[in-house]
Amino acid sequence: MRRTSISTLMPHILLAGVALFWGSTFLLTKLAGESAGPFGVVALRFVVASLALAALRPAALLFIRREELLAGLLLAAIAFTGYAAQSIALQEAPSARVAFVASLYVPLVPILALPLLREAPGAKAMMAAGLAVLGVGVLSGAFGGDLVFGPADGLSLLSALAIASEVVVLSRVVRHADPYRLALVVAGATGLFAILAAAGSGEALPGANGSLLVAAGLLGLGTAAAQLAMAWAQKRVRAAQAALLYATEPVFAGVIGVLAGEALAPNEGVGAAIIVGAIVLGSVRLALPKGVRPRARLRSARA
């Protein structure tokens, strides 16, 4: 009985771990950005990730199917867009602020699931989306007469859209793909896209120093584990259930940012709280399986 329980919980545990790692990457990316350009940071992160995955199972490279290659390239293009936008935003704004705006991908998941997975969003999902927009407005100062919604916030929103698209598309393509080979293709292709973008933009080569190497190593190894965990776990849970677990990411990011000395203005703190509320509202509703009453489900989600 215990073995069955652990195997059932394992996908959820892994996705919660992914959220914790994602929450830490905002500050790590900001630190790495002090010695490298935005595309260079993404390139280092995913090159290290792909090398780690290839070294662990080199034979996987020989058995990548055409469908897995095409799906991986699509996911990599989406992932590169999200991570590049996020990396650029982190050069201009505190990591906690970028994290909270980028976390809007969670209520976006059910909206994108309608055309891609044919899962219609419920009333609470739409309410969550509206509440999230309100949270961004408060965070940006739109209701205080001093709108400070800048380019970094726009890039963070683009990152949110890209990440939401990655979650939904991954839930669709992983049904017929090997999780390890798919993670390997996504990591390698995302790193390649970042290298090409850095070269095309004339970005200078990153300066080698201890902090950059440590940040790149942690980002790369963590990304390798996260890509593999996502591909494996999302083959076993619905996209909406995954979104519920990912909803803890902005909380981790905010706490880590504050502990690192970053400060949030009062309106940013209130806006962040509204965004987190919107995430929980939309995710809990969509994570309910058939035959389970909402109250019982909420107790299990808090356990």
CA distance 303 to 301: 6
Q: Is the dihedral of CA 147, 150, 153, 154 positive or negative?
A: positive
pLDDT tens digits, residue range 125-139? 677 767 776 776 676
- What stretches of 33-122 show up as alpha helix (H) in DSSP? 38-56, 66-89, 95-102, 105-117
pTM over 0.85: no
Cβ contacts of 27 within 8 Å, gap of 6 or more: 95, 253, 256, 257, 260
Q: Which of 61-70, 103-112, 241-250, 292-301 shows the highest mean pLDDT?
A: 61-70
CA distance 254 to 95: 8
CA distance 173 to 52: 23
Give residue limits of the domains in the chain: 2-302
**Which one, of 154, 13, 165, lies nearest residue 78 by Cα?**
165
CB of 41 closer than 8 Å to CB of 29: yes
CB of 107 closer than 8 Å to CB of 278: yes
Average pLDDT over residues 175-194: 92
pLDDT tens digits, residue range 87-96? 899 888 877 7
